[in-house]
Amino acid sequence: MTRTLARTPAADGFRMPGEFERHAGCWMLWPERPDNWRDAARPAQLAFAQVALSIGQFEPVTVGVSALNFTSARTLLPENVRLVELAHDDCWMRDVGPTCVVNDRGVVRGVDWHFNAWGGLNGGLYFPWDQDELVARKVLEIERLARYRAPIINEGGAIHVDGQGTALVTEECLLNPNRNPRLDRAAIEKNLRAYLGVSQVIWLGKGVFNDETDGHIDELACFARPGVVCLTWCDKRRDPQYAISHDAWERLRDARDARGRRLKVVRLPMPGPLYMHAREAHGLITREGTKARTAGERLAGSYANFYIANGGIVMPLLDARTDSLAARRLKRVFPGRRVVGVPAREILLGGGNIHCITQQIPAARRGSGARAQSL
């Protein structure tokens, strides 16, 4: 059994590494629920398989699937992807999986946040979410990593770090009364310091327009490396995203990171605007307790929702008019990595993208025996 530790990562000398640091591998979950994924989730499954294939070129990938879908998932996933039976309510591994932390000796441990399906009974996306709530713990068991149980509701998509003491978050999400209504900004920061090992929290305002997670940072902006942030940009004055991106840009311009540096901001184009088509909405079944999706709804498409793998970037392809510009920008920001695009509209229709469906496990330092002693 994995140990649940009594103290906090910061108290034990642990920090969350940047996603751009070396990984041991990547975890995903299999899309299955027909009230979130159209046409019995088949188109989404093909897209997820393509993401697993793409990340699998760079690092080991594990996918969790229900007992019912094990055989069909096995036929769609490449052989080098490990498939394990793992119950879940939906498939957003970024949010329900563990947030891993490391120490200077290369030991890896996991933070298990409380999860309430992005808002619980006050605007959450589905009920129940009890199986999602267990996913992080199960992943840590399988990976033999010790666990910290954080005392707050949080999701992996709501935080980005530079690995050097800085966290990037949005007020819209982390101060939303549907997450931790009794905690104010100072109390949230205290928890982020304790569980991510950061000393500086940079607060942006709102997330991407109409993002159903209440403005996850991972749709809006991310660290490419310490001192460099990618930001979803919008030049169209009349678009509701315009004010959001400009406000974020101003806050980033005025911010200093934990080491006192100014940030360089790289603007990523915004796809679309993109909307749900009638035939896409009609492929969903409606179910009580699940947020309904309707034709014409604006989709929170963003190129900032890419995954940084060892030696690669796996980015969503969302709009033929902007895909190549986004890919060129990412190639320039990540000169040492190969940029791979995956057609990702089917993932977007479910409310997120490639970053949201993946969660990295950092590499233990080679030769330290750190994985073996991580419990």
Interface ranges with ligand KQY (CB under 6 A) = 92, 94-95, 125, 157, 212-213, 216, 218-219, 350-352, 356
The least CB distance from residue 369 to ligand KQY, in Å, is 33
CA geometry: angle 329, 94, 58, nearest 5 deg: 55
Which position has the token pair 């009609």? 282
Helices (H), the chain: 42-56, 70-76, 93-96, 130-143, 171-174, 185-196, 217-220, 240-254, 278-282, 323-333, 345-348
Strand partners, 316: 342
Residues forming beta bridges with residue 139, ordered by sequence position: none
Residue 108 vs 125, nearer CB to ligand KQY: 125
**Closer residue to ligand KQY, CB minimum distance, 106 or 124:** 124
Residue with Cβ nearer ligand KQY (211 or 257)? 211
Shorter beta-carbon distance to ligand KQY: residue 313 or 364: 313
- Least separation in angstroms between residue 333's CB and ligand KQY is 20
Instruction: Round to whole Å and give the CA distance between 5 and 18.
Output: 23
Return the SS3 of 129.
coil
Cβ at position 350, least distance to ligand KQY in Å: 6
CB nearer to ligand KQY: pick between 86 and 146 = 86
What is the DSSP-derived secondary structure letter of residue 17?
P
Q: Shortest Cβ distance from residue 349 to ligand KQY (Å)? A: 10
Go through the chain and tell me how many residues it has: 375
Q: Nearest approach, Cβ of 3 to ligand KQY (angstroms)?
A: 28
Closest CB to ligand KQY among 110 and 350?
350
Question: How many whole angstroms separate alpha carbon 60 and alpha carbon 76?
Answer: 17
Of 25 and 301, CB closest to ligand KQY? 301
φ, ψ for residue 45 (rounded to 5)? -60, -40
Place of tokens 């036929």: 75
Strands (E), 276-326: 298-299, 307-309, 312-317
Spatial strand order of the sheet with 200-204 comes to 160-161, 166-170, 200-204
Tokens of 44: 């989404």
CB of 230 to ligand KQY, least distance (A): 15
In one-letter notation, the amino acid at residue 154 is: N
Q: Residue 167: is it exposed, middle or buried by C-beta count within 10 angstroms (0-12/13-18/19+)?
A: buried
Tell me whether residue 100 is one of the annotated catalytic residues.
no
Min CB(171)–ligand KQY separation in Å: 16
What DSSP character marks residue 199?
S
Residue number of the CB atom closest to ligand KQY: 157
Which token pair is 375? 């419990």
The residues annotated as belonging to the active site are 356
